[in-house]
């Protein structure tokens, strides 16, 4: 992955062919299967992954996604979106050989988002969380197998999206009423849940994306993540020890170097400089930057215009090349 750039996950619009052709054009060294939430429920991060769950049907309620008694139209819609995306991926990536990133929602963000039939968050019930995690592990393994069939030459990177993980660990997830907060999940239990998904996926390069503050670098490494994806602006000095330990351990850093929504892009050198500054601050040689850093947008691009999304991916590619070519 030396000198690589990629997207985080989501992309604007509703045409998977257009999105995939853009991705394979702009970040050809490490393309990803984009999510297109503009298509509606079942194409969003939560719904797309909820549709992968095995024997745990879901439905859409006014309050969001909720477990139901039997598969219905919302399950079918999510499955249809994903099936169509894989068909398009097979067509666009015909003959492709190289790394390919796919994204699924991680178990803790999923448990914080999906409601039980009684309207309470799944996260509130440890038994329900265990069932969800086991179901997700099986569903992710099936998804990885489907992607392998669609693109036989791909080496798969599996990204678990966990934007809610810091809130889960800190006890900041609100109850259904919003009047109080759910009890924090202990770090060893959170690590175990992530590890179960990663191990079930098999021969993949596992990474975790978290665009929230207080990313638990050590926990993610302990769960088996070989890459950690963060917004570069969310890596203040107080995280230096954890980030430095991750770099020392050979973990790849997927660093968000450009905004995820429309904004003026600074000159190329100014985009790369915060990454170099981080490396200098941590005391690592600049020559290792290009081998261990993947340039990405700060978060998903679903809220951006198509024109900006293309420009953002291009800038990430240019930044990655500049970092890789740097000789310190």
> Is residue 2 very low, low, confident or very high in pLDDT (cuts 50, 70, 90)?
low
Cβ atoms within 10 Å of 118's Cβ, excluding its own? 10
Residue pLDDT, tens place only, 224-238: 999 999 999 888 777
User: In what side-by-side order are the strands of the sheet with 154-161?
Assistant: 98-105, 154-161, 205-209, 227-231, 252-258, 293-297
The pairing of beta strand 98-105 with beta strand 154-161: parallel
Q: In angstroms, rounded to a whole number, what is the distance separating the alpha carbons of residues 19 and 225? A: 27
Q: Examine the pLDDT at 285 and tell me if it is beyond 80.
A: yes
The tokens describing 45, both together, are 């991060």
Higher pLDDT, 13 or 285: 13
Give which of 63, 66, 144 is closest to 110, Cα–Cα. 66
When pLDDT is averaged across residues 64-71 and rounded to a whole number, the result is 91
SS3 of the chain: the string is: CCCCECCCCECCCCCHHHHHHHHHHHCCCCCECCECHHHCCCCCHHHHHHCCCCCCCEEEECCEEEECCCCCHHHHHHHHHHHHHHHHHHHHCCCCCEEEEEEEECHHHHHHHCECCCCCEHHHCHHHHHHHHHHHHHHHHHHHHHHHHHCCCEEEEEEEECCCHHHHHHCCCECCCCCCECCCCCHHHHHHHHHHHHHHHCCCEEEEECCCCCCCHHHHHHHCCCEEEEEHHHCCHHHHHHHHHHHHCCCEEEEEEECCCCCCCCCHHHHHHHHHHHHHHHCCCHHHHHHHEEEEECCCCCCCCHHHHHHHHHHHHHHHHHHHHCCC
In angstroms, the CA 187 to CA 250 distance is 22
Say yes or no to pLDDT of 292 above 70: yes
Whether the pLDDT of residue 306 is over 90: the answer is yes
Inform me whether the pLDDT recorded for 75 exceeds 60. yes
Residue 61 pairs in a beta bridge with 64
Q: Is pLDDT of 328 > 60?
A: no
- Residue 72: its pLDDT value, please? 86
At 106-154, the pLDDT tens digits run: 999 999 999 999 999 999 999 999 999 999 999 999 999 999 999 999 9
Q: Is the pTM of this model over 0.75?
A: yes
Residue 160 forms beta bridges with which residues? 104, 208
What are the tens digits of pLDDT across the range 186-245? 999 999 999 999 999 999 999 999 999 899 999 999 999 999 999 998 887 777 889 999
Q: What is the token pair recorded at 263?
A: 């904004």
Query: Residue 327: what pLDDT?
Result: 42
Query: What does the pLDDT read at residue 1?
Result: 66
Contact present, 96 and 151 (Cβ < 8 Å): yes
Q: Return the half-sphere exposure (C-beta side, CA atoms, 13 A cut-off) of residue 197.
A: 36
Per-residue pLDDT tens over the stretch 256-270: 999 999 999 999 999
List pLDDT tens digits, range 9-49: 999 999 999 999 999 999 999 999 999 999 999 999 999 99
Lowest mean pLDDT of 72-76, 163-167, 311-315, name the range.
72-76
């Amino acid at each position: 992955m030396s000198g690589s750039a990629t997207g985080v996950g989501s992309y604007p619009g509703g045409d998977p062919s257009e999105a995939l052709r853009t991705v394979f054009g702009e970040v050809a060294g490490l393309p990803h299967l984009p999510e297109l939430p503009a298509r509606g429920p079942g194409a969003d991060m939560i719904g797309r992954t909820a549709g992968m769950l095995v024997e745990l049907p879901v439905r859409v309620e006014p309050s969001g996604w909720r477990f139901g008694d039997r598969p219905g139209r919302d399950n079918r819609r999510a499955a249809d979106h994903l099936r169509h995306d894989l068909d398009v991926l097979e067509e666009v990536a015909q003959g492709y050989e190289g790394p390919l990133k796919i994204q699924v929602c991680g178990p803790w963000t999923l448990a914080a988002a999906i409601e039980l039939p009684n309207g309470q968050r799944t996260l509130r019930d440890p038994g329900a969380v265990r069932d969800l995690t086991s179901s997700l592990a099986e569903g992710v393994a099936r998804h990885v197998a489907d992607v392998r069939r669609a693109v036989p030459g791909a080496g798969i990177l599996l990204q678990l999206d966990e934007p809610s993980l810091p809130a889960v660990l800190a006890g900041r997830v609100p109850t259904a009423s919003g009047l109080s907060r759910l009890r924090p999940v202990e770090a060893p239990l959170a690590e175990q849940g992530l590890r179960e998904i990663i191990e079930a996926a098999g021969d993949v390069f596992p990474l975790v994306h978290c665009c929230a503050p207080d990313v638990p670098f050590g926990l993610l490494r302990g769960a088996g993540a070989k890459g950690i994806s963060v917004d570069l602006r969310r890596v203040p000095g107080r995280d230096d020890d954890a980030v430095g330990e991750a770099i020392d351990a050979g973990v790849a850093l997927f660093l968000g170097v450009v905004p995820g929504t429309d904004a003026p892009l600074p000159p190329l050198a100014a985009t790369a400089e915060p990454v170099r500054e981080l490396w200098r601050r941590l005391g690592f040689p600049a020559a290792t930057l290009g081998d261990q850093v993947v340039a990405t947008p700060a978060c998903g691009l679903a809220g951006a215009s198509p024109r900006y999304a293309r420009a953002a991916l291009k800038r990430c590619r240019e930044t990655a090349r500049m970092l890789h070519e740097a000789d310190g």
